[in-house]
Amino acid sequence: MFRRKLTALDYHNPNGFDCADETQFRNCIVWLEDQKIRHYKIEDRGNLRNIPSSDWPKAYQKYLQDVSCPFGVQERHEGLDWLLGLAVRYEYGDNVEKYKNCQPLAASSNSDKPSDPLVNLDSNSPDFKAGVTALANILKIQRHDDYLVMLKAIRILIQDRLSPEAISKASQTREGVPVALDKHILGFDTGDATLNEAAQILRLLHIEELRELQTKINEAIVAVQAIIADPKTDHRLGKVGR
C-alpha cells in the first residue's frame, strides 16, 4: 500500500518494503526523518536512530507528537502513511520548479466523459481507512467501525459547515431586534436581578429555538401531505392508492 509514495520519494526498496517487519519499519521511519522530513536537528535524532533499543517505541511516539501526527504507535499503517504524505509534501516544496513542469499523463479516449472519483474506491484499502481516519480526527468527528459511515459524516459536515455557501452565510452579520426584558414575565424569582435577567434571556432563546423547530415540523407535514394527498388510481386493481 506504500509502494507508490515510497517510489515517489526514491526509497531504495519500495517494492520489497514490509511494514509488518519491525526492522524495516524502523529503518523506514529513520530514513524519512533523515532524508525527507528533517524535523529534528541532526544531534537530536539519536533516540530515533537507535533502532535496536527497546525504548525505540517511546522515541517514535514522541516523534509522532512532535510532528503533530494524529496517529499513535499502535496505528502503524495509518501513522506511516501520514508520514509518507508529509514527506511527499516537503519533497514537492523543496523542488517546486522541478515538479511544476511535469507533464500530465496522456488523456484516455474517454476523457470527454465526466469521471466519478469514487467509482474505483476500495473501502477496505488501508490507504482509504487511513485517509478517512485522518480527516475524522481533523474535523473532530466521532470514529465509527464502518469507514463509509465516517466518510458520509465528513461529507455532511463539509457541506453544512465548510461549503462556500455555509461560510458566506456564517460570515453575514445578523441584526437582532431589541427586546425589553421588563415586559417579559419570568414566572419565578432567583433573588438576584442579574440571574433573573440571564434566565429571561435563556427563556427567550429557548422560545426562538422552539419556533424554528415548529417551522421545520410544519415543512415536513406539508411535504408528506403533498405525497399522500395525490393518490394514483389503478383501474385494474379496482382501488385508489399507490
What is the tens place of the pLDDT at every residue in 195-215? 888 888 888 888 888 998 999
Return the C-alpha cell found at 82: 501520514
Residue 234, strand partner residues: 239
Query: Residue 107: pLDDT band by 50, 70, 90 thresholds?
Result: very low
**Mode of pairing for the β-strands spanning 233-234 and 239-240:** antiparallel
- At 83 the pLDDT is 92
Write out the residue range of the structural domain in which residue 195 sits: 176-233
Within this chain, do residues 3 and 96 fall inside the same structural domain, yes or no?
yes
Q: Which of 21-35, 115-129, 217-231 has the lowest mean pLDDT?
A: 115-129
Q: What's the rounded Cα separation, in Å, for the pair 12 and 10? A: 6
Q: Rounded mean pLDDT of the chain? A: 80
Within this chain, do residues 96 and 1 fall inside the same structural domain, yes or no?
yes
Within this chain, do residues 10 and 62 fall inside the same structural domain, yes or no?
yes
Within this chain, do residues 1 and 85 fall inside the same structural domain, yes or no?
yes
Q: For 34-54, write each residue's pLDDT tens digit.
A: 988 989 998 999 999 999 999
List of residues 6+ apart from 159 with CB closer than 8 A: 166
Within this chain, do residues 11 and 68 fall inside the same structural domain, yes or no?
yes
**56 pLDDT above the threshold of 90:** yes
More confident call, 191 vs 48: 48
Question: Is 43 inside a domain boundary?
Answer: yes
- At 46 the pLDDT is 92
Question: Is 118 inside a domain boundary?
Answer: no
Question: Is 112 inside a domain boundary?
Answer: no
Within this chain, do residues 1 and 78 fall inside the same structural domain, yes or no?
yes
**123 pLDDT above the threshold of 80:** no
Q: How many structural domains is the chain composed of?
A: 3
Question: Is 107 inside a domain boundary?
Answer: no
Q: For 156-170, write each residue's pLDDT tens digit.
A: 888 888 777 777 777
The position carrying cell 427563556 is 203
Q: Which of 24-28, 71-75, 84-88, 144-148 has the lowest mean pLDDT?
A: 144-148
